[in-house]
Chains A and B, each alone.
Chain A
Amino acid sequence: MATSAGVQLLGSWCSAFSNRVQLALKLKSVEYEFVEEVFYVNKSERLLNANPVYQKIPVLIHDEKPLCESLVIIEYIDEVWNGNGPSILPSDPYERAIARFWAGYMDNKTRLLSNIAKGKRFFGGEDVGYLDFALGCFLGWVKATEIIGGVKLLDESRTPGLAGWAERFRSHDVAKDIIPEAPKLLELIGYVQEAQ
């Protein structure tokens, strides 16, 4: 089993993609150093060296080796710390293919997937998993968008399955302290607008 020594995450509290990796590390009880990158102001040399291809967070650094792209990092965490806590991806190859497909779909599309959550507590089943992380990381920004736009995106009357899932995910132990609160994000947007 891998040790948690030498694990660093270059990320940001307000980045949904960084939050994904934080969720995975928390589920696996991996201790790590979180390095806040103020990427929306400027990109540090550390980040540019760790991710020269995309120059983006998150980057997980394990034993001095960098890993990039949030969904790729989650699979690495699931493999390396496979003895810690529940699995993030399903064990069955077909179920893994389905999970990878929908995670890729979520990254490509803006449409919400109420049918998948129907009848289950989480996308992962009875507990959170890969797809919950892939989508749940955006919940802070969804709430902020609802406040700015004065519109309910996750409406209990229209998509009760998805709204119920969102509430359960926000309340889950693994998500607390990681998914940012909407007021903080709104304050950040105000900050970003001043800096430009």
Chain B
Amino acid sequence: MLMTPLYALRRALLAGFRVEPVLHKSENCIGGERAAVQGTGGGPVRRKSELLQKSNPIYEKVPVLLHNGKPILESTNIVYYIDETFASPPLLPACSYGRSRARFWADFIDKKVFDGGAAIWRSKGDELELAKNEFIDILKKLEGALGDKDYLGGDKFGFLDIVLIGSSSWFPTYERIGGFKIEDECPKIGAWIKRCKGRESVAKTLPEPHKVCELVECSERCMELNE
């Protein structure tokens, strides 16, 4: 039986803890561009459900997209899968070179942004200063990719914007701990964040930055207790 995208997505469960940035990359794609998806809701970070462990036995991490019982792992892979399975509207550019540039920057964001930011809140003293400068350098490279465009993909909100915007809820935490402001260091990225957050699909999906701060503070207290 041929399933329409909406019918297929009603059968897709998205399991995850709501503050995780990579989760919202997938939710942005599904919620903003396709259809509402039922979230199962996760527990606290440290308790991993049996469903999660069974769906992602390799990394035991969210997000996991379950489509007709088959798990798809890693948030960028999930976005590619959604784009290839439900062809309209397309998320990636039509031309092969444009698609390659999009994949390149998605890979860069996946490798650099979250770990670069995490290095800030996990560091102290000289290491913190180094982590802050490295994170700003990462954002400056992305600013180069953005150029004078409104969005990373061009005139319209698209794939790369989805890939990066999920991490933005964590940026105020990095700014507070690192003692810097993204709008001062990378003004184009600052403007791009505001532009994306002005979209209803993004605003409804992303967590409040203060919830991320609370999560980081909780993790810091846990780390202190374990030392």
Contact = CB atoms under 8 A, between A and B. Distances in A.
B70 A67 contact: no
A68 B78 CA distance: 22
Interface in A71-87: 71-73, 75-76, 79-80
A69 B103 CA distance: 9
Contacts of B73: 97, 101
Give the top 9 A-B pairs by smallest Cβ distance, nearest first.
A93-B84, A76-B100, A97-B81, A72-B103, A79-B96, A97-B72, A93-B85, A80-B96, A100-B77
A94 B65 CA distance: 11
Contacts of A100: 74, 77, 80
B96 A97 contact: no
B81 A76 contact: no
A72 B100 contact: yes
B97 A76 contact: yes
B103 A65 contact: no
5 contacts: A53-B141, A62-B97, A73-B100, A96-B80, A96-B81
A29 to B, nearest CB: 18
B72 A94 contact: yes
Contact of B77 (A53, A79, A97): A97
Given A67-B100, A76-B96, 16 more contacts: A53-B141, A68-B104, A69-B107, A71-B107, A72-B107, A73-B100, A76-B99, A93-B81, A93-B84, A94-B70, A97-B77, A97-B78, A100-B74, A101-B72, A104-B77, A105-B58
B180 interface: no
Interface in A84-110: 93-94, 96-97, 100-101, 104-105
A71 B111 CA distance: 14
Contacts of A73: 100
Interface residues of A, number: 21
Interface residues of B, number: 22
Contacts of B103: 69, 72, 75
Given A72-B103, A93-B84, A101 B96 contact: no
Nearest to B70: A94
Interface string B65-104: 0010010111001101100110000000000110111011
A47 B99 CA distance: 22
Chain B binding surface SS class: helix
B66 to A, nearest CB: 12
A31 B73 CA distance: 35
Interface of B: 58, 67, 70, 72-74, 77-78, 80-81, 84-85, 96-97, 99-101, 103-104, 107-108, 141
A173 B125 CA distance: 55
Nearest to B105: A53
Given A104-B74, A105-B58, A53 B108 contact: yes
A72 B72 contact: no
A72 B104 CA distance: 6
A80 B58 CA distance: 32
Nearest to B74: A101
A101 B59 CA distance: 11
Contacts of A97: 72-73, 77-78, 80-81
